[in-house]
């Protein structure tokens, strides 16, 4: 399962980050997932709970923020969200625009509690 691998990577990232703050307690980890990243947010949340249950990471809440697909118009520089597969530029009407966002999968922030 793809999402299980991602959940493990997230936990690994939390571990690495915690190494820089000895003694701190992780409270929340937030991920930004683009709608083009091919990640099922529910499955990812489930996987994360599954691998942290009964461990020292059990209290860490996973927050998943999805980000929409973004296009940019090379003609006028306008950046916009795609709604209903409308890829034409809403400002100047250029039919060809390029994808500049929405495929990201990254750690947004990690909330820690000082001991």
Binding site for Zn ion (CB under 5 A): 73, 75-76, 78, 89, 91-92, 94
Identify which of residues 39 and 73 has a Cβ nearer to Zn ion in the complex: 73
Identify which of residues 41 and 82 has a Cβ nearer to Zn ion in the complex: 82
Identify which of residues 10 and 89 has a Cβ nearer to Zn ion in the complex: 89
Identify which of residues 41 and 90 has a Cβ nearer to Zn ion in the complex: 90
**Nearest distance in Å: CB 101, Zn ion:** 16
Contacts of 99 (CB under 8 A, 6+ apart): 36, 69, 70, 71
**Nearest distance in Å: CB 70, Zn ion:** 14
Burial class (CB in 10 A: 0-12, 13-18, 19+), 20: exposed
**Nearest distance in Å: CB 95, Zn ion:** 10
**Nearest distance in Å: CB 97, Zn ion:** 7
């Amino acid at each position: 399962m793809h999402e299980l691998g991602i959940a493990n990577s997230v936990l690994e990232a939390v571990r690495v980050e915690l190494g820089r703050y000895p003694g701190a307690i992780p409270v929340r980890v937030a991920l930004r997932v683009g709608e083009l990243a091919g990640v099922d947010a529910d499955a990812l949340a489930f996987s994360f709970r599954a691998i942290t249950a009964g461990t020292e990471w059990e209290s860490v809440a996973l927050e998943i923020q999805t980000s929409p697909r973004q296009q940019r118009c090379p003609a006028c520089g306008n950046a916009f969200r795609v709604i209903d597969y409308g890829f034409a530029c809403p400002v100047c009407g250029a039919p060809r625009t390029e994808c500049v966002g929405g495929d990201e999968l990254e750690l947004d922030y990690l909330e820690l509690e000082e001991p």
